[in-house]
């Protein structure tokens, strides 16, 4: 891979900023915590050989929260996630993982430099097959641009966990520990069948010159695969007759999910990233670093049996934590306290090791 140009960011770095970073790092080692954290956004252009589409010129858009002198943690979510993980003074809108990342939370930018980016293909400009391994290589290229030699941790959820496993296998020398939540080394055939039908819904909408409606329907089908029958039984009432037709209790909720999704997602981005999940194929034996696997017993997209298979085949130190949740695959977004407890356990050793290295 080659870097086409240096990144452009929303903040300039000068000697004073460098001295501030050193001072902040020293305060962190001593246990002092600054009341606010810096945040910056930027983008860079790289050239990257894609596994199924040849060499491509690509723009990577990233966000960094926290002091660059602190240990770096890369955070990645599902295919709908993006670079904005948590709200800051600079970027005040809520992030997609606000419950886990932020001052006083488990991944605290006063103690970590939190890095995230927009997935390859997220803007709809890359209309080609995208392998999870391509995403991992793009992250490695981004770290080169940002002068980050090694990550203290990669925390990935859903598709992000798949990409994290690829990163651990392909760039293991640049990673201390991986936390993989609700994502494993393969796409289960049942889950792939769900996604294939969702993509057909988009295609059917396009045939009817109504691609947006097709995308909304695909999102509604996806929601059913993310959640559980138990949640819907507790949450929604029985069907009723309204204006001469039967309307079930969940329809308003599903309509809302579809409508909000199409406002922020292009059909091309959805299709290519949905396909990318199904391209996941990895030998866990290639990973020889510490991995914490968090699985959800009720997850219908990532069966518990696949999590067990992953853990048995990994070659490094491994933890498996199994959660129970009505929210199924979406537990990483909804079960904040339970996920935080496992994340805290996984990160404690990394933080202790990083402090020891700085003090040495």
Q: How far apart are CA 119 and CA 111, in angstroms?
A: 25
Helix (H, G, I), strand (E, B) or coil at 257: helix
Residue positions annotated with a catalytic role: 158, 299, 329
Helix (H, G, I), strand (E, B) or coil at 222: helix
Instruction: Give the residue from 231, 251, 227 showing the smallest Cα distance to 239.
Output: 251
Residue 295 φ/ψ, nearest 5 degrees: -120, 160
Helix (H, G, I), strand (E, B) or coil at 353: helix
DSSP of 128-191, one letter per residue?
A: S---HHHHHHHHHHHHHHTT---BSEEEEETHHHHHHHHHHHHSGGGBS-EEEES--SB--HHH
Tokens of 144: 């080169």
Determine the angle formed by the axes of helices 15-30 and 336-359, rounding to 10 degrees. 100
**Cβ atoms of 131 and 276 closer than 8 Å:** yes
Residue 199 φ/ψ, nearest 5 degrees: -65, -35
Scanning the chain, the segments in alpha helix (DSSP H) are: 15-30, 132-145, 159-170, 189-207, 211-226, 229-235, 251-264, 267-278, 304-313, 331-334, 336-359
Helix (H, G, I), strand (E, B) or coil at 323: strand
Q: How far apart are CA 89 and CA 112, in angstroms?
A: 17
Torsion of CA 262, 263, 265, 267, to 10 degrees: 40
Q: How far apart are CA 107 and CA 273, in angstroms?
A: 26
Q: Which residue has the tokens 């945040």?
A: 39
Q: 20 burial class (0-12, 13-18, 19+ CB within 10 angstroms)?
A: middle
From first CA to last CA, the distance across the chain in angstroms is 35
């Amino acid at each position: 891979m080659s870097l086409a140009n240096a990144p452009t960011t929303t903040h300039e770095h000068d000697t004073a900023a460098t001295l501030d970073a050193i001072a902040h790092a020293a305060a962190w080692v001593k246990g002092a915590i600054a009341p606010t954290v810096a945040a910056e956004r930027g983008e860079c252009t790289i050239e990257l050989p894609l596994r199924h589409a040849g060499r491509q010129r690509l723009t990577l858009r990233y966000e960094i929260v926290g002091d660059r002198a602190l240990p770096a943690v890369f955070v990645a979510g599902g295919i709908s996630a993006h670079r904005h993980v948590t709200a800051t003074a600079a970027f005040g809108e809520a992030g997609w993982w606000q419950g886990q990342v932020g001052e006083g939370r488990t991944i605290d930018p006063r103690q970590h430099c939190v890095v995230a980016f927009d997935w390859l293909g997220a803007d709809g400009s890359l209309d080609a097959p995208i392998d999870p391994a391509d995403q991992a290589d793009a992250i490695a290229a981004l770290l080169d641009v940002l002068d980050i030699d090694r990550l203290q941790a990669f925390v990935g959820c859903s598709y992000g966990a798949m990409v994290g496993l690829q990163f651990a296998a392909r760039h293991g020398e640049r990673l201390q520990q991986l936390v993989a939540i609700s994502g494993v080394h393969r796409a289960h055939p049942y889950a792939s069948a769900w996604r294939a039908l969702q993509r057909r819904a988009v295609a059917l909408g396009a045939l009817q010159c109504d691609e947006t409606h097709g995308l909304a329907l695909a999102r509604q089908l996806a929601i059913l695969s993310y959640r559980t029958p138990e949640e819907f039984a507790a949450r929604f009432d029985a069907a009723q007759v309204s204006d001469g037709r039967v309307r079930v209790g969940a329809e308003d909720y599903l309509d809302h999910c579809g409508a909000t999704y199409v406002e922020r997602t292009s059909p091309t981005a959805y299709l290519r990233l949905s396909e990318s999940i199904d391209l996941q194929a990895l030998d866990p034996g290639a990973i020889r670093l510490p991995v914490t696997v968090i699985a959800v017993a009720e997850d219908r997209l990532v069966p518990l049996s696949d999590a067990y298979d992953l853990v048995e085949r990994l070659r490094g130190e491994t933890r498996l934590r199994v959660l129970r949740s009505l929210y199924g695959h979406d537990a990483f977004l909804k079960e904040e306290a339970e996920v935080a407890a496992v994340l805290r356990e996984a990160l404690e050793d990394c933080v202790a090791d990083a402090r020891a290295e700085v003090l040495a």
